[in-house]
């Protein structure tokens, strides 16, 4: 099993991020309340193989902090947040939440996971855009970690 010493199942966290990206996409497109989206995903997705607690933390964290997350992104993007492809926007918001509010997750993991989910669900070269934005953002939010 793929676990860190603290007992965190990295594969389950990775699956939680994939599901969270899909749920954020649904939330952005539907305008539904996040709890309704989470309930829907609990019923429709195979959540027992994902870290459900982390999945919910990501979604509630993005919902609660969406304005602050978008403000962090603005200096590093070339258009309005609302004009970014919805999958890329969801990946950027998710990763920005982790970079800003989850210092327990190494910035390289955050960026790599965002690239992977964007490759899987996004446009052909969307992952390159996400990588460029997050690399600049990590330099700003994780200065000490990135230098080390």
Q: Are 122 and 85 in contact (CB under 8 A)?
A: yes
Q: What is the pTM of this model?
A: 0.90
Answer whether residue 1 is part of any domain: no
Predicted confidence (pLDDT) per residue in 50-83, tens digit? 788 999 999 999 999 999 999 999 999 999 999 9
What CATH number should be reported for the domain holding residue 48?
Answer: 1.10.940.10
User: How many Å apart are CA 20 and CA 52, to the nearest integer?
Assistant: 10
Answer whether residue 30 is part of any domain: yes
Answer whether residue 5 is part of any domain: no
The total number of structural domains that make up the chain: 1
Answer whether residue 94 is part of any domain: yes
Answer whether residue 2 is part of any domain: no
Answer whether residue 55 is part of any domain: yes
40: tokens are 């829907």
Residue 126: pLDDT band (50, 70, 90) is very high
Answer whether residue 4 is part of any domain: no
* DSSP state for residue 42 in the 8-state scheme: H
Residue 72's domain comprises 10-147
User: How many Å apart are CA 40 and CA 34, to the nearest integer?
Assistant: 10
């Amino acid at each position: 099993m793929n676990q860190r010493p603290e007992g965190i199942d990295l594969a389950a966290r990775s699956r939680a991020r994939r599901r969270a990206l899909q749920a954020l996409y649904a939330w952005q497109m539907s305008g539904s309340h996040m709890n309704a989206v989470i309930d829907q995903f609990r019923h429709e997705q195979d959540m027992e193989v994902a870290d459900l607690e982390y999945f919910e933390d990501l979604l509630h964290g993005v919902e609660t902090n969406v304005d602050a997350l978008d403000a962090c992104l603005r200096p590093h993007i070339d258009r309005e947040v609302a004009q970014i492809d919805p999958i890329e926007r969801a990946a950027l918001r998710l990763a920005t939440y982790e970079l800003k509010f989850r210092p327990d997750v190494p910035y390289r993991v955050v960026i790599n996971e965002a690239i992977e989910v964007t490759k899987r669900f996004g446009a052909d070269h969307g992952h390159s855009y996400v990588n460029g934005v997050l690399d600049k953002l990590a330099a700003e939010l994780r200065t000490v970690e990135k230098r080390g």
